[in-house]
Amino acid sequence: MKLIVGLGNPGTQYTKTRHNAGFMVADRLHAKHAKGEPVKARFQAASVEFTLAAERCLLLKPTTFMNRSGQSVAEAVRFFKLDPAQDLMVIVDEVYLPVGSVRLRPGGGTSGHNGLASIQELLGTDAYPRLRIGVGLLPNGGKPPMIDQADYVLGRFTPEEDPLLDPALAKAVEAAELFITKGLNPAMNFANAGAPKEKPPPKTPPPTPESKDPGLRT
């Protein structure tokens, strides 16, 4: 069993925002491999099962807000008795990578991302693969200097960024497929080929402030 989790915020007002890049990839995986399969409310998420190359897979889009993503992930991991380092992939937006880039790592810190922080807290480990979709400024990543990070990631992609976003999402889908069918190392080799230099996050990223939506933290 492989567990593939796309992170985002539920609700139409967040559709196509930068922070929902994980949802965008999950939607493409659903359309490609599980079209027609019933979507169920399980593990505090919209979930759908499919099989790829004889590997059983569960695709999740948590219906909690981003800062509570770990509740959904931990519940599914424990129910199926999965090894996060081998069986889990989290697909997430990354402000420190520019739009159009994709990178896959076997673990690491949160870079100030509250979804990853929630998962790490509730799993008790940061050793789980995360497929990161660049949503930062061109050409090196990061956010505009005078815009709060929460406001930036809750904004939508610009028309100039759209032609870069689509192939990145397609590449992320293929990386997830490789993870399912061949394992982490082949998926990393594919996803990270030609990866741009990553803009380093602050050494101690400040907590992301709450948005105007009650209960929502990015």
Exposure pattern of 76-102 as b/e (b: 16+ CB <10 Å)? bbeeeebebeebbbbbbbbbbbbbbbb
The C-alpha angle with vertex 133 and arms to 109 and 182, in degrees rounded to 5, equals: 85
DSSP notation for 72-89: HHHHHHHHHT--HHHHEE
Token pair in block for residue 5: 């989790």
Q: Which amino acid is at 89?
A: M
Residue in the block written with tokens 């673990």? 107
Q: Residue 113 catalytic?
A: no
Which neighbouring-strand residues pair with 98?
Answer: 136
Distance (Å, whole) CA 74 – CA 162:
33
Q: Which amino acid is at 189?
A: N
DSSP notation for 89-112: EEEEEEEEEETT-EEEESS---TT
Exactly one of 19, 30, 33, 113 is catalytic; which is it?
A: 19
Contact 179/89 with Cβ under 8 angstroms?
yes
Active site residues: 19
